[in-house]
Amino acid sequence: MALDSIPDQSEVETFKHAVLTRLRYAVGKDPADAYDHDWFEAVALAARKYQVDGWEETTRTIDRSQRKRVYYLSLEFLIGRLLIDNLSNLGLLEVARQALSELGVDLERIRLLEPDAALGNGGLGRLAACFMESMATLDIPAHGYGIRYEHGLFKQTVADGWQQEHTETWLDFGNPWEFERPECSYTIGFGGSVLSEDDGSGGQRLCWEPLERVRAVAYDMPIVGWRNASVNTLRLWRARAEETLRLDRFNAGDYLGAVADTVRAESISRVLYPADSTEAGQELRLRQEYFFVCASLQDLMQRHLGHGEEVHSLPRQAAIQLNDTHPAIAVAELMRLLVDERGLEWDEAWGLTVATLSYTNHTLLPEALESWPVGLMERLLPRHMQIIYLINAFHIDALRAKDIHDFDLLRAVSLIEEGHGRRVRMGNLAFLGCHSVNGVSALHTELMRETVFRELHRLYPNRISNKTNGVTFRRWLFQANPELTALLVDTLGEEVLDDPENRLRDFAAHAEKSSVRQRFAQQRRNAKERLAQLIEENLAIRVDPDALFDVHIKRIHEYKRQLLNLLHTVALYQDIRNDPATHRVPRVKIFAGKAAPSYQQAKLIIKLANDISRMVNGDPTVRGLLKVVFIPNYNVSLAESIIPAADLSEQISTAGLEASGTSNMKFALNGALTIGTLDGANVEMCERIGPDNMFIFGLKAQQVEARKRAGELSMQHEIAASPRLEEALIALGTGVFSPDDPQRYVALVDSLRYDDRFMVCTDFDAYWDAQERVEQLWQKPARWWKASMLNTSRVGWFSSDRTIREYAEEIWKVPPGEE
């Protein structure tokens, strides 16, 4: 095994002892009576002991050296499982495996008992988790701040082809990785009014008197870096009532009333909002945002001042990164802390705020740009609303002073959107209140400059920069794919584990050797066999591990164009039925992903995938040339099983709409070839991997824009020119795949024909051709596997270590520790 080969027997004994003591004294079980879950807990607690040792050391060293700290504020951390991650980064994976096996316990089996910590929706939350791991690896003193949701992202099942949502319950058996810190809690206010009071020196000071107060209690999770480089903290806040039981009401027999405040307060951290791109818009969401921002700022300010620092040195000692606009209220909250609570002058406070905060944008979709009704803001956060008005007024005044009077420009840069109902634009607030604003791929950053922040960018041309996303190779290569990792270690040496960014490049030379290619193909074959087994167990569908595994896994969204892939599936199916002899490449189309519960069109796309699956898989004339599967409940753990087994990675969003994508990087790292548009980070992947080793197709972002501007949305022309597309649309529209309800897809087909917002029809032929190129290459295995290995070898740059180094140097001004 590659990661840390032969364990030292004395370490094995120590670990065994650690597990047995925890099983007995923390879990309260004797080995003879222990269930698998008891073992899981004992092993996690044993691993935690090693974490804590490093944690204390990291904290002590940072405190002593007074290094600048990074605070990563994110409403989402999509962590997944932690057992293997922690053991592996601690260098204890083989030790633990051996120790357990000597105790008669299989690490593989108990590993599966850990629930995913699914405290995020998708890419943005997973990026935050990758960043936390990279910051610990690079020895950057960092704290993640977020919410300890009692329920993570809903569990998805599929009933009769339709998505069903169920409450996720990751905390049912407790969370062995967390430390509750009841002594670390802060009061968070909501509502009430703003009073003017004497400031003690003859002046007046404004003071917010909230009507409602809840407490934020800290829960800490240690985050270990690779080879135990350092151990950082992810601090998640749980909402509690100030008073958990109103005894007066209880004694009067009002049992519900006695806990009403508790229920209201605690609902703030009850559940993660499951919308990943449409604005949630509800009051509870704003309460969540303010709740965690307010607690985090109090906490970091206390740490700052506790170290004998003055408030003025905040930007020298702290860099606060806002993960999208979800924590953007931090701009107003930090101003309130500095002006109202610390008595600073406005200008000085503003200087400190801007110098401390920075903001990452993750989407350009108009429906995903957060804005809050002024009325709601006034009611929930009256003082913050005043501060936002002041920021706006000072800003507009400053522009006028510079002789800028262009009305359209002033309207575009205003914090307040005047339309039907006035709203606070959180993107503009974040832009103005932060010294740095970044996009997550080169293309996305360019589009930010040209679209959402066009006018603000003109006024502040140095504020926007690009930080192309990355992924942690520890999870997405070493842990997800130990067999490929072993091959890399055997061919490139152990160093590849410590410096994959540079060492992977040398794998290219091995792509010329047929023996290595064979071993490479063999590890893929093994991963595919395991996935085939998972599919059979879960869906009772048999797939052939020798077929081409064509994989499309991500949130279901129209812009990600699962529909384009499904139309290709239908066309392929019809082609095979018409002329089975010409088809030589057996394919398995694999889909997985969740739809936001309120997103009807996305739910219909899931139903369509399942309808097509049933029809195609049940048709004997297809003779196994095509299988379609929709695997329910996509999450981090499922991604770890699927990605190493993928031959083809679908990254086919309408160009200009996917900010970056990160699964594209995970797939390529594991050697899947990408079929994709020139969107998000695909563009930069193509620059490194080379267009010969990818299947690029379709409109480019500028062409999409040009067509939109020309208002060409009716696709009659394109459809008429493409008999394959026409036939597929007719099949869908006439109920070939929905005989129980022939009308089911009529509206969907009409929307493609007459208002194809996402250019599915326009790109269809190009996509078909690219898929043909895929099949041609697949039929030349030597070339396919060479291309596949070149993918692995050329994506080292997409490591989140590289991304974090760029943030650290260019935005945070925090030097990494001694690596």
Of 285 and 395, CB closest to ligand 26W: 285
Please identify, among the stretches 274-282, 666-674, 752-760, 778-786, the one whose residues bind ligand 26W according to the rule CB under 6 A.
274-282
According to DSSP, the β-strands at 193-198 and 204-209 are antiparallel
Residue 535 binds ligand 26W (CB under 6 A): no
Concerning whether 362 is annotated as a catalytic residue, the answer is yes
Residue 610 binds ligand 26W (CB under 6 A): no
With CB under 6 A as the contact rule, the residue among 231, 275, 339, 511 that binds ligand 26W is: 275
- Write out the two tokens for 83: 């057992």
With CB under 6 A as the contact rule, the residue among 469, 738, 771, 799 that binds ligand 26W is: 469
Residue 640 binds ligand 26W (CB under 6 A): no
The helix (run of H) or strand (run of E) holding residue 156 is strand 155-159
Catalytic residue among 155, 336, 552, 554: 554
Please identify, among the stretches 383-391, 659-667, 687-695, 811-819, the one whose residues bind ligand 26W according to the rule CB under 6 A.
659-667
Shortest separation between residue 685's beta carbon and ligand 26W, angstroms: 12
With CB under 6 A as the contact rule, the residue among 266, 370, 558, 763 that binds ligand 26W is: 370
Concerning whether 402 is annotated as a catalytic residue, the answer is no
Please identify, among the stretches 271-279, 594-602, 685-693, 763-771, the one whose residues bind ligand 26W according to the rule CB under 6 A.
271-279
Residue 280 binds ligand 26W (CB under 6 A): yes
With CB under 6 A as the contact rule, the residue among 74, 230, 262, 277 that binds ligand 26W is: 277
The residue type at 553? I
With CB under 6 A as the contact rule, the residue among 296, 392, 523, 662 that binds ligand 26W is: 662
Concerning whether 554 is annotated as a catalytic residue, the answer is yes
Of 368 and 376, CB closest to ligand 26W: 368
Residue 80 binds ligand 26W (CB under 6 A): no
With CB under 6 A as the contact rule, the residue among 363, 428, 523, 610 that binds ligand 26W is: 363
Quickly list DSSP for 470-516.
Answer: -B-HIIIIIIT-HHHHHHHHHHH-THHHH-HHHHGGGHHHHTT-HHH
Residue 124 binds ligand 26W (CB under 6 A): yes
Distances (CA, A) of 744 to 313, 569, 730, 732: 62, 18, 13, 9
Residue 117 binds ligand 26W (CB under 6 A): no
Residue 658 binds ligand 26W (CB under 6 A): yes
Residue 279 binds ligand 26W (CB under 6 A): yes
Residue 661 binds ligand 26W (CB under 6 A): yes
Q: Closest-CB residue for ligand 26W?
A: 123
Of 440 and 535, CB closest to ligand 26W: 440
Q: Residue 273: which residues within 8 A CB-CB, separation 6 or more?
A: 121, 280, 285, 288
Shortest separation between residue 434's beta carbon and ligand 26W, angstroms: 16
C-alpha torsion 593→598→604→610, nearest 10: 40
Of 663 and 722, CB closest to ligand 26W: 663
Of 91 and 373, CB closest to ligand 26W: 373
Contact status, residue 486 vs residue 2, Cβ threshold 8 Å: yes
Instruction: State phi, psi for 551 to the nearest 5 degrees.
Output: -120, 130
Shortest separation between residue 368's beta carbon and ligand 26W, angstroms: 4
Q: How far is residue 700's CA from residue 656's CA, in Å, rounded to a whole number?
A: 8
With CB under 6 A as the contact rule, the residue among 12, 45, 127, 364 that binds ligand 26W is: 127
20 exposed, middle or buried (CB, 10 Å; 0-12, 13-18, 19+)?
middle
List the interface residues with ligand 26W, window 38-77 (CB under 6 A): none
Across the strands, what pairs with 719?
Answer: none
Angle at 337 between CA 334 and CA 340, to 5 degrees: 130
Contact status, residue 287 vs residue 190, Cβ threshold 8 Å: yes
Instruction: Tell me the torsion sign for CA atoms 217, 288, 469, 816.
Output: negative
According to DSSP, the β-strands at 436-439 and 423-425 are unpaired
Q: How far is residue 245's CA from residue 260's CA, in Å, rounded to a whole number?
A: 9
With CB under 6 A as the contact rule, the residue among 54, 80, 122, 733 that binds ligand 26W is: 122
Number of neighbouring beta carbons within 10 Å of residue 547: 20
List the interface residues with ligand 26W, window 669-698 (CB under 6 A): 680
Concerning whether 555 is annotated as a catalytic residue, the answer is yes
The residue type at 244? T
- Write out the two tokens for 713: 């949305």
Catalytic residue among 287, 449, 603, 666: 666
Count of residues binding ligand 26W (CB under 6 A)?
Answer: 23
Query: How far out from the chain centre does Cα 302 lie?
Result: 29
Catalytic residue among 97, 151, 362, 557: 362
List the interface residues with ligand 26W, window 321-350 (CB under 6 A): 324
Angle between the N-to-C axes of helices 723-733 and 562-578, in degrees from 0 to 180, rounded to the nearest 10: 100
The residue type at 227? R
Of 179 and 559, CB closest to ligand 26W: 559
Q: How far is residue 729's CA from residue 753's CA, in Å, rounded to a whole number?
A: 9
Please identify, among the stretches 64-72, 117-125, 239-247, 566-574, the one whose residues bind ligand 26W according to the rule CB under 6 A.
117-125
Shortest separation between residue 119's beta carbon and ligand 26W, angstroms: 13
Instruction: State phi, psi for 650 to the nearest 5 degrees.
Output: -90, 115
Across the strands, what pairs with 208?
Answer: 194
Catalytic residue among 68, 235, 555, 594: 555
With CB under 6 A as the contact rule, the residue among 362, 457, 467, 786 that binds ligand 26W is: 362
- Write out the two tokens for 501: 């960014």
Residue 123 binds ligand 26W (CB under 6 A): yes
User: Residue 698, SS3?
Assistant: coil
User: Residue 783, SS3?
Assistant: helix
Q: How far is residue 300's CA from residue 783's CA, in Å, rounded to a whole number?
A: 54
Q: Residue 389: which residues within 8 A CB-CB, separation 6 or more?
A: 416
Instruction: State phi, psi for 164 to the nearest 5 degrees.
Output: -120, 140
Q: Residue 667: which residues within 8 A CB-CB, separation 6 or more?
A: 551, 643, 646, 649, 651, 674
List the interface residues with ligand 26W, window 762-801 (CB under 6 A): none
x-or-dash string of contact with ligand 26W, 436-465, rule CB under 6 A: ----x-------------------------
Concerning whether 528 is annotated as a catalytic residue, the answer is no
Residue 472 binds ligand 26W (CB under 6 A): no
Concerning whether 467 is annotated as a catalytic residue, the answer is no
Residue 376 binds ligand 26W (CB under 6 A): no
Of 275 and 701, CB closest to ligand 26W: 275
Please identify, among the stretches 123-131, 157-165, 183-191, 194-202, the one whose residues bind ligand 26W according to the rule CB under 6 A.
123-131
Of 277 and 799, CB closest to ligand 26W: 277
Catalytic residue among 356, 445, 654, 662: 662
Based on C-alpha coordinates, what's the Rg of the chain? 27
Shortest separation between residue 75's beta carbon and ligand 26W, angstroms: 8
Instruction: Tell me the torsion sign for CA atoms 457, 458, 459, 463.
Output: positive
Residue 660 binds ligand 26W (CB under 6 A): yes
- Write out the two tokens for 398: 């400053």
Q: How far is residue 271's CA from residue 532's CA, in Å, rounded to a whole number?
A: 33
Catalytic residue among 29, 435, 560, 805: 560
296 exposed, middle or buried (CB, 10 Å; 0-12, 13-18, 19+)?
buried
Q: How far is residue 377's CA from residue 616's CA, in Å, rounded to a whole number?
A: 52
Shortest separation between residue 367's beta carbon and ligand 26W, angstroms: 8
Return the exposure string of 738-765: e unless at least 16 CB atoms fall within 10 Å of the residue's CB, then b: beeeeebbeebbebbbeebebbbbbbbb
Residue 806 binds ligand 26W (CB under 6 A): no
Shortest separation between residue 369's beta carbon and ligand 26W, angstroms: 8
Of 426 and 729, CB closest to ligand 26W: 426
Shortest separation between residue 699's beta carbon and ligand 26W, angstroms: 18
Return the residue matching tokens 């139903």.
607
Catalytic residue set: 362, 554-555, 560, 662, 666
Residues near ligand 26W, by CB under 6 A: 121-124, 127, 275-277, 279-280, 324, 362-363, 368, 370, 440, 469, 658-662, 680
